[in-house]
Amino acid sequence: MAISLRGVGYRYAGAQQAALLDVDLDLPDGAVVGVAGASESGKTTLCLVVSGLAPRTVGGRIRGTITLDSEDVDAWPMHRLASRVGIGFQNPTTQLSQVAGTVFEEVAFGPMNLGVPRDEVAQRTWEALAALRIDGLAERDPARLSGGQQQLVAIAGLLAMRPEHLVLDEPTAQLDPAGTQLVGDAIQRLAGDGASILVAEQKTDLLAAVAGRVVVLDGGRVVLEGDADAVLSDPRLAELGVPEPSAVRLRRAVVDAGVAPDRVEAAISG
Amino acid sequence: MLVRWIAALVAFVAVILIGVVTVGNFDTGIDPGNFFDTEGSDSFAFIGAIALVVAFLVYAAIEYAQTGGFGSIARQFDTRTIVLMPIAIAINVILGATVANALKIPVYLDSIGTILVGALAGPVAGAFTGFLTNILWTYVLPPPFQNGPAAAFALVAAVIGVLAGFAGRAGWLRPRPNRSGTELLIGGLVALAVVVGLAVYAYTRFYGSTFNFFIPDVEVEPLFVVLGWLVGLIFVGFVVGFGYLLVARRDLGVAYVVVAGMVTGVIAALISAPISANVFSGVTGGGTDFLVAAFRQAGSDLQTATFQQGLLSDPVDKLVTFFVVYLVLNAMARRTKARFPQGEQLLEAGDTGGIEEGEWRSATS
Amino acid sequence: MAERNELTDPSLSSRGVPDFLGRPGPSAFHRLNPLTKAVLATVTAVAAVVLGGLVGPILLVTVTVLLPGLLAGVLGRLLRTALLLALPIAVSAFLVNLFFFPGGTTELLRIGPVVATAEGLAFALEILVRILAISGAVTLFYLTTRPADLVVDLERRGVSSRVGFVANASVQTVPAMVERAAQITAAQRARGLDTEGSVWRRVRGIVPIVGPVILGAIAEVEERTMALEARGFTRPGRRTLLWAPPDTGWERAVRWALLFALLALIIVRVAGIA
């Protein structure tokens, strides 16, 4: 099971420039793929295209093919795709449905919309809450939670729809350090449990911790791609506007300070 | 499509005819000091509102018979519009409550959201927003926003939404900048005529023979002097803003906005006055009460005073409201507007999407 | 991922829909179906207007508002809230009708150019009772009903879930937006905005508050739309409801009886006048 993009391009309505061009990407089941790049490099657009919101909800024009388990999804309506691919956004508050008085109802909103039978909705909701360790919040008012907790509720709302793939667009971008920690830990746990996640992040530390592969975008094209370790220590990152993970920076600082590179590697692996 | 509209129109006219026959004589004699024959037009406007509801039902029924669904109505309720509606309702309630409870100025400002939704999404969506605003305002919202009288005026709010929807669909809220001097002159004259007409009406009501501030012998309460000045100031502010857009941006759109606001205001007054007079004796706890008091002091009876207040408050209110909505629409990103069901009609003419190429395709369905 | 989501904790499958949803109200009146209470409030309000006079509305309110309020144990709050809510309009209506009643001849009191008349007083009292009746009926409804209960009940009866969404979301948006407006007002005041003082300054004062609140909320529409559609909002057909308030046969009978009684009253009044 996998999502595959082949030669995918996308242009917002009324825009002269394409926001995404000639992207080939695979998100196999159980893989965590990180997306890095400067702002305006196409990270968010890629997330919208993979989730199907672009062009279905956003409008605009697309080219190339997107397949889900080798089936072309071009003619699928949004609600059909939504039960297979979940997407989470930066802003925790705008992701809340605004119609749920409790966290439980908020998380159940997606499966309810999908018409899942009542008992199964309840079961999925408890499971999603448990997966993110927030079942203690079930009775709380989602509007009164912290940003980090709201983001966890939003992700739980996606999990309750039992998608095969999860797309997260900078899930920690608008959170304070405590919230970032909370969400970062949850993503690591989900990734460790074998979820398949496409995560776009400015914070490469998070990508270094969770992603197996990383692609780097620039001007809507994939410019670097490969194993997370290799891509995230690539010297071209800086000129692409991507901050290096702190582990890479630390390693370089140690080497620059005159410690032999092989001793550094030995110390890290030892 | 055409059949539906014709049938709706026929139903509308039929209901009005039936209403006129049932109510009987409308000719109760025209008061020379009054621009309208109040009692007759009271009933007439109410019949009109009922006719509007019947016309909508006929339209919906024929669409269902033709297509087995309500496509053209459902299209006005896409997700984007659904998301905008609660915001629109909140804007209505908050501004309306502020103006009525705190500012005590004789306008309402409780239909900005309704007119915004109507313009962006269509008449049915606008009507729904207005109707739901007033229902929630009475039944669901907690104090201090709860408002007892609001539900009684739900029909008025719905009609305002319908009119805004048609104004938007007809392209009356589209910016038309950089027009030629002749066009601007004509547009300016039309709009000016509307505003001056309103001002003259307000003047004759306020400063007319029975209630004259400026005859020194007559004792005048300072309150009414202030109110008179306020009405004047709103007009001045409006004319200044209007002149700026017309002259500095050469935007002919403002002329359309003025006419749309005026028409909506007069119709809203016609429908709401009988409700206000018969249910609440014309007093609803807001700043408009001062006007009702003034007109009654001047000798008008209950119905007439309420009607006079409506004919003054509503056009001013809707002019200002349409103007605010016009500014909001201009402030919205072109891309954002275009995605609403009626968004294309709100864009400048000739301002359409990107270039089409064979291999680029939009969403199917 | 579907497999991974299978139970890690066997107790989860037996937890079902939590009982804090749709928790029953404290009194029998609270536990009535929301539609029954809504019909009662509407019929009371309309009937108070149709009846007119003083005695009719007072008797009506005693039976349909005060008595249920007493049984529900909310009488104190009901009276306080209803009076507080009706205060601005009641004062306004009372004074306008007392002093500016055209055709009033029996002079009671003269303050400057305005005259209070006995006819005006009688009419003012009638309007006062009417306003209090409407305010009381509506207050009883929302003191004993959660808005979400009414919405979910209507949705179960076939009202579109999109209508329910707009209603529920509006109830949450109003306080959220007020908070936002309060923040902006505080910020504008700090920069020297005048929300008191002369009328002209007040009128000018609205503009810098209105702009950011409206445009800020509209800017969020796009994100909210995407978030909803990503959660299957556009799926046609009915969605699953987790719970709904109970309804009974006799409550349905009561609702119809109330509506027919109102209709009969209107017919009697109209025929009586004609």
Which amino acid is it at C190? Answer: A
Is the pLDDT higher at B243 or at C26? Answer: C26
Distance of CA C127 to the CA centre of its chain: 20
Helix (H, G, I), strand (E, B) or coil at C161: helix
Is residue B29 packed enough to be buried (19+ CB in 10 Å), middle (13-18) or exposed (0-12)?
exposed
**Percentage of residues in chain B having pLDDT higher than 70:** 69
What pLDDT is attached to residue B36? Answer: 38
Q: 13-32 in A: which are within 8 Å (CB) of C? A: 29-30
Do B361 and A59 lie within an 8 Å CB cutoff? no
CB atoms within 10 A of CB C107: 11
CA distances from B12 to A256, B53, B54, B170 (A): 84, 9, 7, 20
Structure tokens at C135: 């305010």
Query: H helices of chain B, where?
Result: 2-23, 38-67, 71-74, 79-97, 112-121, 123-139, 154-169, 181-207, 222-243, 253-280, 288-297, 302-331, 334-338
Contact A9, A212 (CB under 8 A): no
Do C5 and A162 lie within an 8 Å CB cutoff? yes
Mean pLDDT value of segment B248-273: 85
Res A22 pLDDT > 50? yes
What pLDDT is attached to residue B118? Answer: 95
Do B94 and C147 lie within an 8 Å CB cutoff? no
| DSSP states of B256-276 | HHHHHHHHHHHHHHHHHHHHH
| Chain A residues within an 8 Å CB radius of B365 | 56, 75, 77
What pLDDT is attached to residue B213? Answer: 32
Chains touching chain A, criterion 3+ CB pairs below 8 Å:
B, C
Which of B23, B84, B85, B87 best probes binding to C when mutated, by most C CB atoms within 10 angstroms?
B87
Which of C214, C215, C223 best probes binding to B when mutated, by most B CB atoms within 10 angstroms?
C214
Rounded (5°) CA angle B260-B263-B265:
105
What pLDDT is attached to residue A7? Answer: 92
Contact of A59 with chain C, judged by CB distance below 8 Å, is answered with no
Q: 163-202 in A: which are within 8 Å (CB) of C? A: 163-166, 193-196
Q: pLDDT class for A190, splitting at 50, 70, 90?
A: confident
Mean pLDDT value of segment B2-11: 80
Do A143 and C176 lie within an 8 Å CB cutoff? yes
Do B335 and A14 lie within an 8 Å CB cutoff? yes
Mean pLDDT value of segment C124-133: 85
What pLDDT is attached to residue B232? Answer: 59
At what angle are helices B222-243 and B302-331 packed, to 10 degrees? 30
> In this complex, how many residue pairs, one in chain B and one in chain C, have their CB atoms less than 8 Å apart?
181
Q: Which of A14, A60, A63 is closest, CB to CB, to B334?
A: A14
What pLDDT is attached to residue C7? Answer: 43
Nearest CA in chain A to B334: A14
Contact B282, B276 (CB under 8 A): yes
Res A167 pLDDT > 80? yes
Q: C185 phi and psi, to 5 degrees?
A: -60, -45
What pLDDT is attached to residue B32? Answer: 37
Q: Please tell me the distance from the alpha carbon of residue B47 to that of residue B55, in angstroms, as a whole number.
A: 12
CA distances from B358 to A45, A61, A64 (A): 21, 11, 12
Structure tokens at A193: 């449990």
Q: Which of B79, B146, B229 is closest, CB to CB, to C233?
A: B79
Which residue carries 């209950």 as its tokens?
Answer: B302
Q: pLDDT class for A103, splitting at 50, 70, 90?
A: very high
What sign does the CA torsion over B100, B103, B106, B108 have? Answer: negative
Which of B281, B309, B336 best probes binding to C when mutated, by most C CB atoms within 10 angstroms?
B281
Is the pLDDT higher at A67 or at C99? Answer: A67
Q: Please tell me the distance from the alpha carbon of residue A14 to that of residue A54, in angstroms, as a whole number.
A: 14
Nearest CA in chain A to C232: A79
Distance to chain C for B82, nearest Cα, Å: 6
Mean pLDDT value of segment B47-59: 78
* Average pLDDT for chain C: 80
Contact of C173 with chain B, judged by CB distance below 8 Å, is answered with yes
Structure tokens at B223: 């309150």
Buried b (16+ CB within 10 A) or exposed e, C133-162: bbbbbbbbbbbbbbbbbbbbbbbeeeeebb
Do A13 and B338 lie within an 8 Å CB cutoff? yes
Do C81 and B297 lie within an 8 Å CB cutoff? no
Do B362 and A62 lie within an 8 Å CB cutoff? yes
Do C214 and B285 lie within an 8 Å CB cutoff? no
Query: H helices of chain C, where?
Result: 34-51, 55-61, 67-71, 75-99, 118-144, 147-156, 161-190, 199-219, 221-229, 249-273
| Chain C residues within an 8 Å CB radius of A92 | none
Res B126 pLDDT > 80? yes
Q: Which of A79, A99, A117 is closest, CB to CB, to C240?
A: A117
Residue-wise pLDDT for C135-174, tens only, equals: 889 889 888 988 888 888 988 888 888 888 988 898 888 8
Q: Please tell me the distance from the alpha carbon of residue A152 to that of residue A132, in angstroms, as a whole number.
A: 7
Do C203 and B233 lie within an 8 Å CB cutoff? yes
Q: Please tell me the distance from the alpha carbon of residue B262 to that of residue B239, in angstroms, as a whole number.
A: 14
What pLDDT is attached to residue B235? Answer: 61
Contact of A239 with chain C, judged by CB distance below 8 Å, is answered with no
Nearest CA in chain A to B355: A16
Q: Please tell me the distance from the alpha carbon of residue B158 to that of residue A50, in angstroms, as a whole number.
A: 41
Structure tokens at B258: 């003025």
Structure tokens at C111: 């303050």
Residue-wise pLDDT for C55-96, tens only, equals: 888 999 999 999 999 998 889 988 888 887 777 777 777 777
Mean pLDDT value of segment C215-227: 87
Lowest mean pLDDT among B163-172, B173-182, B219-228: B219-228
Which amino acid is it at B185? Answer: L
Mean pLDDT value of segment C179-204: 66
List for chain A the helix, strand, coil content (%; round to 5).
45, 25, 35
Which residue carries 């140690």 as its tokens?
Answer: A254
Mean pLDDT value of segment C198-216: 66
| Chain A residues within an 8 Å CB radius of C4 | 193-195
Q: Please tell me the distance from the alpha carbon of residue C209 to that of residue C183, in angstroms, as a whole number.
A: 10
Rounded (5°) CA angle C75-C76-C78:
60
* Average pLDDT for chain A: 89
What pLDDT is attached to residue B216? Answer: 33
Nearest CA in chain A to B351: A14
Res C203 pLDDT > 70? no
What pLDDT is attached to residue B26? Answer: 44
Q: 33-62 in C: which are within 8 Å (CB) of B? A: 38, 41, 45, 49
What sign does the CA torsion over B183, B184, B188, B189 have? Answer: negative
Residue-wise pLDDT for B22-39, tens only, equals: 655 444 333 433 333 345
Q: pLDDT class for B226, splitting at 50, 70, 90?
A: low
Which of A79, A120, A151 best probes binding to C when mutated, by most C CB atoms within 10 angstroms?
A79
Distance to chain A for C246, nearest Cα, Å: 17
Residues contacting residue B201 through CB under 8 Å, at least 6 positions apart:
B35, B311, B312
Is the pLDDT higher at B196 or at B322? Answer: B322
**Intra-chain end-to-end CA distance of chain C, in Å:** 73
In terms of average pLDDT, the best of B58-72, B131-145, C40-54 is C40-54
| Chain C residues within an 8 Å CB radius of A55 | none
Res B206 pLDDT > 70? no
Contact of B331 with chain C, judged by CB distance below 8 Å, is answered with yes
Is the pLDDT higher at C73 or at B238? Answer: C73
Contact of C125 with chain B, judged by CB distance below 8 Å, is answered with no
Which of B94, B224, B229, B320 best probes binding to C when mutated, by most C CB atoms within 10 angstroms?
B94
Q: Which of B335, B360, B363 is closest, CB to CB, to A56?
A: B363
Which H/E stretch holds residue A205?
helix A204-210
Nearest to A171, CA basis, from B81, A162, A158: A158
Res B215 pLDDT > 50? no
Contact of B358 with chain A, judged by CB distance below 8 Å, is answered with no
Residue-wise pLDDT for B54-86, tens only, equals: 888 888 888 888 877 777 777 778 899 999 999
Residue-wise pLDDT for B149-159, tens only, equals: 777 788 889 98
Do B354 and A16 lie within an 8 Å CB cutoff? yes
Structure tokens at C132: 């209090």
Q: Which of B82, B91, B285 is closest, CB to CB, to C166?
A: B82
Res B219 pLDDT > 60? no
Chains touching chain B, criterion 3+ CB pairs below 8 Å:
A, C
Ramachandran region, residue B178 (left: φ > 0; alpha: ψ -120 to 50; beta: rest): left
Mean pLDDT value of segment B33-53: 57
| C-alpha dihedral, A190 to A191 to A195 to A196, nearest 10° | 140
Do A113 and C235 lie within an 8 Å CB cutoff? yes
Is the pLDDT higher at A32 or at C197? Answer: A32
Residues contacting residue A5 through CB under 8 Å, at least 6 positions apart:
A23, A24, A25, A26, A49, A50, A64, A65, A66
